[in-house]
Homo-oligomer: A and B are copies of this chain.
Amino acid sequence: MTVPDSPQQPYRFPVAARYAGMESSPLKDIFALAALDGVTSFAGGIPDPDLFALEDVTAAYDWVLSHQGHRALQYGVSEGEVELREQAARRLSRDLPTDASQIRVTSGSQEGLFVVAQAMLEPGDVVLVESPTYLAAVQAFSVHGARMIGVDTDDDGVIPEALEEAIRIHHPRMVYLIPTFQNPTGRTMPVERRQAVAEVLQRTDVPLIEDDPYGALSFTGSTWAPIAALPGMSERTILLNSMSKLMSPGVRIGWMRAEGTILDTLAVAKAAISMQSSVVDQLTVARYLETADLDAHVARVSGVYRERRDAMAAAIAPVLPDGAHVTHPEGGMFLWAALGEGYDAQVMLADAVAAGVAYLPGWSFFADHPDRSTMRLSFVTHSPAVIDDAIGRLGEVIAAHPRS
């Protein structure tokens, strides 16, 4: 006997397996908690809007609309507007000789990661990632049916021997790394580590997807050349940059650097996904890079972020339990604390929110084998005084959750 559908049943669209059960997510719930009134949130990687160079950005929009208005409103090309590609190449060439023809513009790094996944990944492919790594990259790869395998890291980033072993076992399609001021840990790979990783990748012939959105946000004055700039690596690396953390996340402009025929595939994939990025925004970012002093702006922002990093590092050290480990980022936006065995940062979150402080539980950053005692704390959004106060309250919550 077949039962006819009740007319009260709402229609349900078929959903692809890649998104089945993803209508809501624990992360969405966490961010909803973090956004509650009275909660000091360290959960998101949200730049402080008071630090935006609003005047310079506005001037760039004004100039584009009054000098290139018709072009800005017209269709552009999937590869990206030439002025922006030239500015991107100019910046990259400080470390790695780059021509505008090697740049593909994307609507932020997220679209860049998605374009790479579209261009390169088959269902079942393995992608090796740092353990822990950036979760939105994991999602862009996962929805292409790729399997993420986390590679062990230490305070210098991914461990070359572990990487080589994982390559031998898993035959990955590609390796995804964030070598500088990593999300979520804030760690940076020293030059020797980069060289060792490059050597492994060349020996095993595995391509590198190098994500570098934070590299310019240095607290020491030193910057790190990307792995792509090491001998032999530029032709086997797709290097992603973004203006989100340096100028504005709302403008959604980033770019990729690559060499050879993959550039054509990246452009075709970009066209299939979104045709092209906003021409107004592209020309505006190009104008901004040409006329404003981005380095001075980034130095100013980094100075403020450094004070906040200092405030958080000072506040958190005394409240962590014995055996806990916390990173000391020399740039970027994030600090990463592992409370140690017996703690569960996800379980603790409800009490933290009740005490008016939120963080991102670290389990979500692991492709596999999550360390549930970890948490990511963004130090960039709040002033030192607010940080000091909120971390104090977090300390009370930690103290009330003795090791189980």
Contacts and interface: CB of A to CB of B under 8 A. Distances in A.
Interface of A: 10-19, 22-25, 44, 46-47, 49-50, 52, 54, 57-58, 61-62, 65-66, 69-76, 107-108, 110-111, 114, 118-123, 136, 139-140, 143-144, 173-174, 207, 235-236, 238, 247-252, 258-262, 264-265, 268-269, 271-281
Given A15-B265, A65-B57, A140 B272 contact: yes
Contact of A121 (B16, B62, B268): B16
A230 to B, nearest CB: 14
Given A14-B207, A111-B273, A139-B272, A265 B69 contact: no
Contacts of A119: 13, 15-16, 19
Interface centre among A74, A122, A249, A272 (most CB of B within 10 A): A272
Contact of A13 (B14, B76, B247, B260): B260
19 contacts: A10-B259, A10-B260, A12-B261, A15-B262, A15-B265, A16-B121, A17-B122, A19-B265, A52-B69, A54-B70, A57-B65, A75-B250, A76-B250, A114-B272, A140-B272, A140-B273, A251-B278, A252-B276, A252-B278
B46 A70 contact: no
Contacts of A57: 65, 69, 73
B275 A108 contact: yes
The 6 A-B pairs with the shortest beta carbon distances in the complex, nearest first, are: A250-B279, A73-B248, A23-B264, A49-B70, A13-B262, A111-B274
A236 B11 contact: yes
A238 B262 CA distance: 34
Contacts of A121: 16
Contacts of A75: 44, 46, 249-250
A279 B57 CA distance: 14
A354 to B, nearest CB: 25
Contact of A61 (B18, B61, B110, B118): B61
A119 B19 CA distance: 6
A66 B58 contact: yes
Contacts of A22: 265, 268
Contacts of A279: 250-252
A126 to B, nearest CB: 12
Contacts of A136: 271-272, 275
A282 B174 CA distance: 35
